[in-house]
Amino acid sequence: MQAICLRIKKKSSIAVVPTMGHLHDGHLALVRIAQRKASVTIVTIFVNPLQFGQNEDCQVYPRDERGDLKKLRRLGVDYVFMPKVFAMYPEGFKTTVHVEHVTKNLCGRSRPGHFDGVATVVLKLFEITRPDFAVFGKKDYQQLVTIKTMVKDLDLPVRILAAPIVREKDGLAMSSRNIYLKPAERRPALALYRGLLAVKKVCRNGHPDRQQIEKIFRNQIPKDKRIKLEYIECVNVRTLEPCKTFKRNNTLVAAAVFIGNTRLIDNVVV
């Protein structure tokens, strides 16, 4: 793959879209952005064991290679890179990338090592595919900031493009994990976005503090034992440091909830 990309790069620009597969319209929107930016588009599909914790869903993460290839072929993607785990991490693999600070809050609190796994695999994918552009979704906002930080700190010659969150008609952010939701869990799952929208509305008209924001969000979460709030946090959009004061378009309100066994994340900029 690296040899192919080095050859392409002599004449053309490359955009890469890293994914874990089981592609939905959110992923495909990223692909379209990549196609507009560069003459050759590469999608990578790799369920990266390094970014999953011990009790997480790496083994059972949804996979649909044939369906994914069909969708990507229909879009006219030039290359799909689908390496096996042993090819990415052969025996004796010893290096990890750790991005400080921006990986501390939000999901970093409950998923230690997760962003090290993300940064490591993305750096490898960049080295392999040599992209001019790489597209990431704002759905995984902390991941986006982590990658941007790594690119800046390590002087990587790639431009990171951020894509807006693509949602289902009912507002639920698209995610490969949504298929885990049982039919009865679908309605409770909508509380996540409803809570964030309520926060956004209040921020438009006033200046609530962090406690008030948490209260507004919690008020939208029905009392239901299937729903467990992991976090709701207000952070600076760039540094991901907890916010004390609010400035327009400067604050990210991000939340993670469990609906049954399914962990969902979402965010809005306020």
* CB of residue 220 to ligand AMP, shortest distance in Å: 20
| Residues of this chain, 215-244, that bind ligand AMP according to CB under 6 A | none
Q: Which one among 15, 19, 122, 151 touches ligand AMP, defined by CB under 6 A?
A: 19
CA torsion sign for 153, 154, 160, 165 is negative
Q: Within 10 A of 173 (CB to CB), how many other CB atoms are there?
A: 22
Nearest-angstrom CA–CA distance, 43 and 32: 11
Q: Select the span of 71-79, 100-108, 160-168, 238-246 touching ligand AMP (CB under 6 A).
A: 160-168
* Site track for ligand AMP across 20-49, x = CB under 6 A: x-----xx--x-------------------
259 binds ligand AMP, rule: CB under 6 A: no
What are the angstrom distances between the C-alpha of 112 and each of 23, 120, 166, 177, 262?
26, 14, 27, 20, 18
CA torsion sign for 185, 187, 192, 195 is negative
Pairing of strands 159-163, 133-137: parallel
Which residues are catalytic, by number?
Answer: 27
| Helix, strand or coil, per DSSP, at residue 230 | strand
Q: Which one among 5, 99, 119, 165 touches ligand AMP, defined by CB under 6 A?
A: 165
Work out the burial of residue 177: count CB atoms within 10 Å of its CB; fewer than 13 is exposed, 13-18 middle, 19 or more buried: middle
**Residue nearest ligand AMP, CB atom distance:** 137
What are the angstrom distances between the C-alpha of 138 and each of 94, 141, 252?
30, 5, 11
Q: Which one among 166, 203, 264, 268 touches ligand AMP, defined by CB under 6 A?
A: 166
Q: Select the span of 59-67, 85-93, 173-181, 244-252 touching ligand AMP (CB under 6 A).
A: 173-181
150 binds ligand AMP, rule: CB under 6 A: no
137 binds ligand AMP, rule: CB under 6 A: yes
Q: Which residues pair with residue 14 across a beta bridge?
A: 40
* Site track for ligand AMP across 78-97, x = CB under 6 A: --------------------
- DSSP secondary structure code for residue 205 in this structure: H
Site of tokens 């059972």: 60
* Site track for ligand AMP across 175-194, x = CB under 6 A: xx------------------
173 binds ligand AMP, rule: CB under 6 A: yes
136 binds ligand AMP, rule: CB under 6 A: yes
Site residues (CB under 6 A) for ligand AMP?
19-20, 26-27, 30, 136-137, 139-140, 163, 165-166, 173-176
